Homo-oligomer: A and B are copies of this chain.
Amino acid sequence: MEQATTEGAIDREQLHELAQQLRVDSVRAAAAANSGHPTSSMSGADLMAVLLARYLRYDFDAPENGANDHLVFSKGHASPLLYGMYKLAGAIDDEELLTFREFGSRLQGHPTPEIPWVDVATGSLGQGLPISVGIALAGKRLEAADFRVWVLCGDSELAEGSMWEAFEHAGQAGLDNMIAIVDVNRLGQRGPTMHEWDTASLAARAAACGWDVQEIDGHDLEAIDAAYARALAAGQPAAIFARTKKGSGVAAVEDQPNQHGKPLADPEAAVEELGGIRSLRVEVQHPPTAQPYEIERTPVERPAYEVGEKVATRGAYGDALAWLGAVDEKVVALDGEVGNSTYAERFAAKHPDRFFEMYIAEQQLVAAGVGLQTRGWKPFASSFGAFLSRAYDFIRMAAISDADLKLCGSHVGVSIGPDGPSQMALEDIAAFRAVLDSVVLYPSDANQAVALLDAMREHRGVSYMRTTREATPVLYGPDESFRIGGSHTVRSSDDDAVTLIGAGITLRECLAAADELAGRGIAARVIDLYSVKPVDAETILAAAGETGALIAVEDHWAEGGIGETVAGVLAEAGAGTPLVRLAITVRPTSGPPAELLSAAGIDSPHIVAAAERSLNA
Q: Does A293 contact B (CB under 8 A)?
A: no
User: Is B172 a contact of A165 with CB atoms below 8 Å?
Assistant: no
User: Is A340 a contact of B590 with CB atoms below 8 Å?
Assistant: no
Which residue, of A190, A210, A533, has the highest number of chain B Cβ atoms within 10 A? A190
Contact of A559 among B194, B557, B560 (CB under 8 A): B560
CB of A542 to closest CB in B, whole Å? 16
Residues of B within 8 A of A557 (CB): 434-436
Q: Does A205 contact B (CB under 8 A)?
A: yes
Q: How far is the CA of A430 from the CA of B395 in the complex (A)?
A: 14
Can you give 11 contacting A-B residue pairs, CB < 8 Å?
A109-B418, A109-B420, A123-B422, A124-B386, A160-B360, A191-B357, A202-B208, A389-B393, A426-B434, A566-B571, A572-B580
Q: Does A12 contact B (CB under 8 A)?
A: no
Contact of A560 among B360, B402, B560 (CB under 8 A): B560
Contact of A340 among B102, B190, B420 (CB under 8 A): B190
Knowing A161-B165, A205-B208, say if A108 contacts B572 (CB, 8 Å): no
User: Is B194 a contact of A359 with CB atoms below 8 Å?
Assistant: yes
Q: Does A14 contact B (CB under 8 A)?
A: no
Residues of B within 8 A of A402 (CB): 587
CB of A368 to closest CB in B, whole Å? 13
Count contacts on A: residues with CB < 8 A to the other chain: 116
Q: Does A70 contact B (CB under 8 A)?
A: no
Other A-B pairs beyond A112-B420, A570-B570, 12, CB < 8 Å: A103-B595, A108-B421, A112-B422, A123-B420, A160-B390, A168-B194, A172-B194, A188-B337, A189-B341, A191-B357, A430-B430, A437-B587
User: Is A422 a contact of B110 with CB atoms below 8 Å?
Assistant: yes
Residues of B within 8 A of A376 (CB): none
Q: How far is the CA of A433 from the CA of B104 in the complex (A)?
A: 33
Q: Does A482 contact B (CB under 8 A)?
A: no
User: Is A591 a contact of B101 with CB atoms below 8 Å?
Assistant: yes
Closest to A579 in B: B571
Q: How far is the CA of A121 from the CA of B159 in the complex (A)?
A: 25
Q: Does A35 contact B (CB under 8 A)?
A: yes
Knowing A168-B159, A359-B193, A581-B568, say if A592 contacts B103 (CB, 8 Å): yes
Contact of A393 among B102, B386, B399 (CB under 8 A): B386
Closest to A614 in B: B574
Contact of A567 among B341, B396, B571 (CB under 8 A): B571
User: Is A360 a contact of B572 with CB atoms below 8 Å?
Assistant: no
Q: Does A157 contact B (CB under 8 A)?
A: yes
Closest to A338 in B: B189
User: Is B390 a contact of A124 with CB atoms below 8 Å?
Assistant: yes
Contact of A204 among B124, B125, B208, B418 (CB under 8 A): B208
In the complex, per-residue mask of A34-70: 1 if CB is within 8 Å of any chain B CB, else 0:
0110000000000000000000000000000000000
Q: Does A575 contact B (CB under 8 A)?
A: yes
User: Is B564 a contact of A572 with CB atoms below 8 Å?
Assistant: no
User: Is B359 a contact of A400 with CB atoms below 8 Å?
Assistant: no
Q: Does A445 contact B (CB under 8 A)?
A: no
Residues of B within 8 A of A110 (CB): 419-420, 422-423
Residues of B within 8 A of A209 (CB): 201, 205
Contact of A201 among B208, B390, B435 (CB under 8 A): B208
Residues of B within 8 A of A108 (CB): 420-421, 589-590
Residues of B within 8 A of A126 (CB): 360, 390
Q: Does A578 contact B (CB under 8 A)?
A: yes
Residues of B within 8 A of A423 (CB): 109-110, 123-124
Q: How far is the CA of A230 from the CA of B589 in the complex (A)?
A: 39
Q: How far is the CA of A417 from the CA of B110 in the complex (A)?
A: 12
Q: Does A248 contact B (CB under 8 A)?
A: no
User: Is A575 a contact of B572 with CB atoms below 8 Å?
Assistant: no
Contact of A124 among B337, B387, B577 (CB under 8 A): B387
User: Is A109 a contact of B419 with CB atoms below 8 Å?
Assistant: yes
Contact of A162 among B161, B191, B421 (CB under 8 A): B161
Closest to A130 in B: B161
Q: Which residues of chain A from 544 to 573 have a CB within 8 Å of any chain B CB?
A: 557, 559-561, 563-568, 570-573
CB of A525 to closest CB in B, whole Å? 17
User: Is B419 a contact of A587 with CB atoms below 8 Å?
Assistant: no
Q: Does A374 contact B (CB under 8 A)?
A: no
User: Is B340 a contact of A189 with CB atoms below 8 Å?
Assistant: yes
Q: Does A345 contact B (CB under 8 A)?
A: yes
User: Is B579 a contact of A576 with CB atoms below 8 Å?
Assistant: no
In the complex, per-residue mask of A412-445: 1 if CB is within 8 Å of any chain B CB, else 0:
0000011111110011001101111100000000
